[in-house]
Structure formats: C-alpha cells, structure tokens
C-alpha cells in the first residue's frame, strides 16, 4: 500500500508541475515517476523539437527526486537550465552536452551527490562558483565552450579524478589549482586553449597519469613535472617552447624520454646553483658538458622518430579507387562520413594487432567521447565487395553479423547489448550509466538506422554500434579500410581520422624498431617476413577515398591538402 501511495503522490507531483499538454508531450517523465526509474535521457532532434515548442525543459523533470542519472544532449534549443535543478538531490550524473547553454545556475552546488558533470559543447563563457561545492565530484567536462577562466576553489572538489577543459579560451589555471588536496586527479585535458604557464607546483598533483596541454601558449615546461611519479602520458605539441631541443622532443618523443630530459635539466639547474655557491666553475662546466652529451643523445632519438612518413596516394593516380555513395536519408540520422585506405600497416609482428586495437579503443573512449561524438570502424580491404553505399534501414530490416556474434537484426542486437550492459553494471554494482549504455542511447527514437552496405547487400558497418565479422581485420591484413562517422560535424570526422592515422604511424614505427632489435618473433598467423623485407618499414601509404552523393557529386575526399598537417608536426606527409 505504501508503494502504491508513493506512485500516486509521484504522479500527482508531476501533474502539478506541468499542464496535461506538457505531460502528453513528455510521456517519459510520467513513466519514470510511475516506475520509480532512476535514469532519464533526452537526446537528439525529436527531443529538441519538444524543447523548442515548450520554451525549455518540462518543469515536471525537476520533481523526479529519485533520479541519479539525467542526460539532455544534442538539443540546440536548450539555452538555459532552471534553478529548480537543485531539487534533484539524488543526481550522481548530469550530462548536458552539445546543447546551446549560455549560462548554468550556481545552485548546482546543492547537488551534493553529484559525481559526474558534463556540460561540454555549449556556449558557456563562465562557470558558476557552485561547482566548487560539489564534494563528491570526480569527473568534470566543460570542453568546447568559450570559457576564459576557471572558478577559484576547484581544489575543494577533493574527489576529482578527471578534468577536461579543452577547446576553450582559458589563459591560466586558478591560483589554488596546484594543490595536494587534488590527490586523486589522474587526468587533466586542456588542449586548444591559451594557457601561458604551467607552474612548478604541478608536482603536487601526485596522482596525475595523463596531461594534455597541446596547442596552448606555453614557453616553458617546468622540470618539476618529472616529479609526478605516476605520469604515463603527456602532450605538449603545438606550443612554441623557448627550449628548441625540448620542443623537438615534444613533437617526436614518447613521454618517458621527455620526462628524463626534464629530470636531467632539473638536476643540472640544482648542480649549477651549488657550483656557483661554492665557486666551482670547473665542476659546473663538466656537468654542463655531460648534460649536453645526454641531450645530444635525446636529440638523435628525436631525429630518428621524426622520420615517420605517410605518403598520400591520390584518387587521380588510382582510376579504380574505392568510392562511397552517401544516401540522402542519412542526413537525419548520422550524416557525416570520412573514409580512406591505409597500406603498409604491420599487424603481423608480435602484439602489433593487439596494440592497434587497444589504441582504437582509447581513441573511442577519449577523443570520440565513448563513441558519443564519433565512431571508428576498420575493415580488411580484401574482404570488401565494392562499391559501398552509406545508407539507412529500418531497425527490423537491418541485419548484421556483429563481431563475434551470429547474424541478427539491429533490434535484436541492441536488445542483447542492453541486457549485457545492465548485467555488467549489476556485477560491478555501478550506479552510473556505463559507456556501453551511452552509445546505445544514440539511436533511441530513430526510425531508421545508419549502415555501410557492400555490393552484395551485406551490412559491413552499423555505426555507432558495431562493424561486421565479415570484414574483420586480422594479423594477416595488408590493407585497411578506415571509416569515421559522426552526427556532430564533418570536421569532427576528419580530426578523429587524423588522430587515428598518426597513432598508426607511431605504432608502425614502434613495431619496425622492435623488429630490428629482436628479429622475427614467430607469433604471426603465418610465416614471418624476412628481416630485410618491406614489413620492417614504418612508412604508411594512405589512399584517398571519395564520398559522393547519389548524383555522383563529390561530398568529401580524405585526406585532402588541409588534412594531416599542422597539428601533427612529427609526421612527414608526402603528397
């Protein structure tokens, strides 16, 4: 009886908060209230139309006090959030990305249970101070806005582990940011800003594992950064550093080499100060010479790494080049597609294939926002039956042999994946929605699903869900067909493809170097190539692929002259 009373009271609250017309437009709210659900997701064009006609979110949302996950994304009509958001005190995840929010209420600080806040890709120019009151916050994503400063007091959010402030106009970190209180902060992503200085106090961020400050205005990298014992990945590309040797290393070397250089420079500075105090100029000179030798070795390593080469094979040079025709119907579902063919990728040696798949997963998780921003698919060219068509199909008619599964319809596959995601969450006792849940939601409410279809009518790719077992890459794969799809923009697809090809070049270089050092390791699916064969080369060849509309008019060709250029300074592209 008490549960029945709760249902009635919950529904009465919903009805009191909105007119019957509103409730008819927002049946999901009534369902959440009746079934005591804790998750609510509004995403895409269909929901955006409701928001536009309603003049904002339905006010009844703010009465759902049991919600612990709320997502409203890809709704450009959403320009503000009402202060009644403060009533959702059980919220643990609040996802409001890719809307047009111009402001955000400071009462967000009253959401004491909030662990994840994602307000990326909006029109925010300032963040509310209330964010600093979120003691349980562990993930903050404010990327792709127009922020110039971060609020003072972020160090009060002592549980923060991930901060993403990339693609803003930020010039500096707050004075209290470098704090021992942020002893759980492991990932700091701040590329594409105007940050001018990284303080030596960065070493106080003892848990830091990943730091990305690429494309900023840094002139120095403090030697103290090398004291971050857990740091595994750094990126300072695109900064005009005063130490040109270090700048070369940043553009070509791996994290370990850069940290060793910084560590040596720090020790050299300490030694110089000690020598000056004692008047030991000869000892000082000796240390400088010794350091110079070490730096020369590092510079030689950079020169070697800078030999990564990508050659572009033009469409005009390959009369029978693969072309993808794009159906007009995809514009309402997932309109953007970029493709290319890569030759020379060595997947046969040792763990090369595994490293490549791990790198692709990492790109999906980071740059692609767990597939919510873009999706990558890879295919064995020899298994593709051209020509290809990027089209849409009804969910019940789209059949695909997903990786590691039997053939099933899109409806059956998504249902199966949803069950698996729910079971995984139960096993791990998670309150929040998993990455798998997130990208399964991307097609919710769509009457048609996107797919890449070959000449025999087989679906070889079903973005953002899966690609086909029929074209799966193996260690023996010599040529790869790469595709990137997105609902965001064509440039998003190109940026992801650029990053993927750069990573492939780096992996190929790594594989070639280890082949030279260790020789053939015999782990391939077939006979290993002789040491002097082309398999040991790190050079990649990228063949352009054109996508055209149904009339044959060019939509995009990748790579073009504007791709694979300034942002990838350690890559030599031969056109």
Q: Name the token pair of 267.
A: 């020790």
Evaluate whether residue 270 is within a structural domain.
no
**Is the Cα dihedral 228, 233, 239, 240 positive or negative?**
positive
Evaluate whether residue 521 is within a structural domain.
yes
Nearest to 233 by CA among 267, 266, 259: 259
Q: Quote the pLDDT of residue 538.
A: 73
Collapse the DSSP code of 480 into the 3-class scheme (helix H, G, I; strand E, B; otherwise coil) and give the result.
strand
Write the Ramachandran bin of 457: left for phi over 0, alpha for psi from -120 to 50, otherwise beta: left
Evaluate whether residue 250 is within a structural domain.
no
Evaluate whether residue 469 is within a structural domain.
yes
Residue 114, CA distances (Å) to 62, 73, 89, 140, 167 in order: 15, 18, 8, 10, 24
Q: Quote the pLDDT of residue 83.
A: 94
Cβ of 157: how many Cβ atoms within 10 Å?
22
Domain that holds residue 34: 1-114
The residue behind tokens 């070795």 is 297
d(CA 332, CA 329) in angstroms, rounded, equals: 6
Mind listing the pLDDT tens digit of every residue in the chain (575 residues)?
344 444 444 444 444 444 444 556 788 888 888 888 888 888 878 888 889 988 889 888 999 999 988 989 889 999 999 999 999 999 999 999 889 999 999 999 999 999 999 999 999 999 999 999 999 999 999 999 999 999 999 999 999 999 999 999 999 999 889 989 999 999 999 999 999 999 999 999 999 988 999 999 999 999 999 999 989 889 998 999 999 888 888 877 668 888 888 888 765 544 444 444 444 455 555 555 665 555 555 545 544 444 567 888 876 556 567 889 999 999 889 999 999 999 999 998 888 999 999 999 999 888 888 888 899 999 999 999 989 999 999 999 999 998 888 899 989 998 888 888 777 777 765 555 455 666 777 888 889 999 999 999 999 999 999 989 999 999 999 999 999 999 888 889 998 999 999 899 889 888 887 765 555 444 444 444 433 333 446 789 999 999 999 888 888 999 988 788 644 555 677 77
Answer yes or no: are the C-beta atoms of 444 and 74 closer than 8 Å: no
Extract the runs of DSSP E, i.e. beta strands, from 256-330.
309-313, 323-326
Q: Quote the pLDDT of residue 251.
A: 79
Last residue of a domain, one of 65, 92, 114: 114
Evaluate whether residue 165 is within a structural domain.
no
Last residue of a domain, one of 53, 83, 114: 114
Answer yes or no: are the C-beta atoms of 67 and 32 closer than 8 Å: yes
Evaluate whether residue 364 is within a structural domain.
yes
pTM beyond 0.85: the answer is no
Answer yes or no: are the C-beta atoms of 168 and 148 closer than 8 Å: yes
Nearest to 216 by CA among 175, 178, 171: 171
Answer yes or no: are the C-beta atoms of 313 and 536 closer than 8 Å: no
Task: Please report, for the domain that includes residue 368, its CATH number.
Answer: 3.50.40.10
Q: Domain tally for the chain?
A: 2
Answer yes or no: are the C-beta atoms of 183 and 160 closer than 8 Å: no
Last residue of a domain, one of 114, 142, 168: 114
d(CA 177, CA 199) in angstroms, rounded, equals: 10
Evaluate whether residue 238 is within a structural domain.
no
d(CA 39, CA 37) in angstroms, rounded, equals: 6
Phi, psi of 235 (to 5 degrees): -145, 115
């Amino acid at each position: 009886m008490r549960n029945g009373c709760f249902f009635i009271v919950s529904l009465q609250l919903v009805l009191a908060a909105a007119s019957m017309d509103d409730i008819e437009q927002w049946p999901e709210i009534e369902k959440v209230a009746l079934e005591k659900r804790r998750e609510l997701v509004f995403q895409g064009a269909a929901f955006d139309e409701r928001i536009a006609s309603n003049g904002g979110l339905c006010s009844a949302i703010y009465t759902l006090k049991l919600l612990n996950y709320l997502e409203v994304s890809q709704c450009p009509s959403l320009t503000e959030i009402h202060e009644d958001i403060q009533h959702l005190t059980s919220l643990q995840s609040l996802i409001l990305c890719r809307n047009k929010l111009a402001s955000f209420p400071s009462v967000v600080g009253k959401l004491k249970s909030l662990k994840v806040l994602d307000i990326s890709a909006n029109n925010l120019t300032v963040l509310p101070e209330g964010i600093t009151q979120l003691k349980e916050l562990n993930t903050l994503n404010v990327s792709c806005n127009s922020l110039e400063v971060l609020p003072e007091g972020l160090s009060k959010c002592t549980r923060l582990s991930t901060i993403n402030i990339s693609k803003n106009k930020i010039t500096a970190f707050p004075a209290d940011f470098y704090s021992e209180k942020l002893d759980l902060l492991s990932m700091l992503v701040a590329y594409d800003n105007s940050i001018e200085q990284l303080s030596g106090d960065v070493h106080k961020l003892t848990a830091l594992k990943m730091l990305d400050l690429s494309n900023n205005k840094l002139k120095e990298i403090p030697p103290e950064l090398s004291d971050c014992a857990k740091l595994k990945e750094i990126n300072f590309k695109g900064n005009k550093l005063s130490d040109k040797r270090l700048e070369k290393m940043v553009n070509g070397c791996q994290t370990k080499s850069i940290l060793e250089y910084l560590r040596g420079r720090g020790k050299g500075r300490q030694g110089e100060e000690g020598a000056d105090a004692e008047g030991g100029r000869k000892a000082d000179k000796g240390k400088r010479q010794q350091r110079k030798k070490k730096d020369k070795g590092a510079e030689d390593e950079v020169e070697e790494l800078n030999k990564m080469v990508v050659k572009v094979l033009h469409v005009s040079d390959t009369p029978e080049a693969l072309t993808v025709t794009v159906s007009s119907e995809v514009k309402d579902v997932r309109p953007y597609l970029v493709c290319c063919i890569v030759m020379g990728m060595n997947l046969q040696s040792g763990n090369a294939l595994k490293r490549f798949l791990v790198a692709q997963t990492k790109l999906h998780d980071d740059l692609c926002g767990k597939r919510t921003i873009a999706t990558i698919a890879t295919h064995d060219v020899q298994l593709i039956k051209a020509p290809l068509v990027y089209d849409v199909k009804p969910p019940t008619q789209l059949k695909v042999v997903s990786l590691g599964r039997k053939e099933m319809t899109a409806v059956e596959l998504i249902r199966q994946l949803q069950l698996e995601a729910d079971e995984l969450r139960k096993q791990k006792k998670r309150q929040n929605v998993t990455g798998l849940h997130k990208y399964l939601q991307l097609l919710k409410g769509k009457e048609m699903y996107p797919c890449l279809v070959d000449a025999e009518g087989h679906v070889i790719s079903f973005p953002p869900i899966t690609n086909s077992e029929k074209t799966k890459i193996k260690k023996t794969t010599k040529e790869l067909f790469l595709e990137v799809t997105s609902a965001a923009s064509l440039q998003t697809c190109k940026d992801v493809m650029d990053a993927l090809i750069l990573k492939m070049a780096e992996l190929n270089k790594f594989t070639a170097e280890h082949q030279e050092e260790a020789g053939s390791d015999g782990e391939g699916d077939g006979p290993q190539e002789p040491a002097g064969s082309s398999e040991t080369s790190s050079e990649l060849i990228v063949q352009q692929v054109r996508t055209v509309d149904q009339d044959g008019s060019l939509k995009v060709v990748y790579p073009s002259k504007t791709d694979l250029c300034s942002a990838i300074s350690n890559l030599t592209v031969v056109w």
